[in-house]
Structure 1
Amino acid sequence: MPQFVIEREMPGAGKLGPEELKGASQGSCNVLRELGPEIQWVHSYVTDDKIYCVYRAPSEELIRKHAVTAGFPANSIAQVRATIDPTTAE
């Protein structure tokens, strides 16, 4: 299944506390359950003013539907074409 990276501009995201992050995660998971098993949230990286999320889904459109339904911005969505790490150099 295709994998995507979603960039969400969320000023102050890095200052969100554990309870706020838990609430956002719960909201996202609730919408994911409604949309069905075709879309999966892998993980997210929280930075000062953005959250970068990795999802698996059959299409960018389904990711956008999740964002709108959950009330999260999806400022950019890019399909992952390859994954590299230090072992790629070997």
Structure 2
Amino acid sequence: MPTYVIEREISGASKLSPQQLKDISAKSNEVVAGLGVPYRWITSYVAGDKIYCVHEAPSADVVLQHAREGGFPANRVTEVAAFIDPSTADGIGE
């Protein structure tokens, strides 16, 4: 299944309270459960005025559907072309 990075512009995102982040997470989980297609939220990073999310979904259209139904912005949705990490330098996984 393709992996996508979603950039969400949310003014003051890094100042969201733990409760607000919990509520956002619960809403996202609720929407994922109701999509009726394979969909996996992997992780999100809150940084400045943005939240960067990594999701697996059948298509970018389904990612946008998740955003609409959850009431989340999805300012940019980009399919991941490759994964690298420190072990890539050692040729692990070739």
Give the TM interval when normalised to the shorter protein: over 0.9
Of all paired residues, the percent bearing the same amino acid is 51
Encode CA deviations 1:2-41: one digit per residue, 9 max, x unaligned: 0000000001000011100000000111111110351110
> 2-side partners of 1:49 and 1:60: how far apart?
23
1:45 counterpart letter in structure 2: Y
Encode CA deviations 1:19-65: one digit per residue, 9 max, x unaligned: 00000000111111110351110110001100000000010000000
Alignment coverage as a number of residue pairs: 90
1:7 maps to 2:7: yes
> 2-side partners of 1:34 and 1:60: how far apart?
17
Alignment map for 1:40-79 (pairs within 5 Å): 40-79=40-79
> 2-side partners of 1:48 and 1:28: how far apart?
20
Q: State the TM-score, normalized to the length of structure 1.
A: 0.96
Structure 2 counterpart of 1:39:
39
Structure 1 counterpart of 2:19:
19
Segments of 5+ residues of structure 1 without an aligned counterpart are: none
Segments of 5+ residues of structure 2 without an aligned counterpart are: none
Deviates more, 1:45-54 or 1:34-43: 34-43
Which stretches of structure 1, 4 residues or more, deviate above 3 A after TM superposition?
none
Q: Aligned-residue CA RMSD in angstroms?
A: 0.8
1:28 maps to 2:28: yes
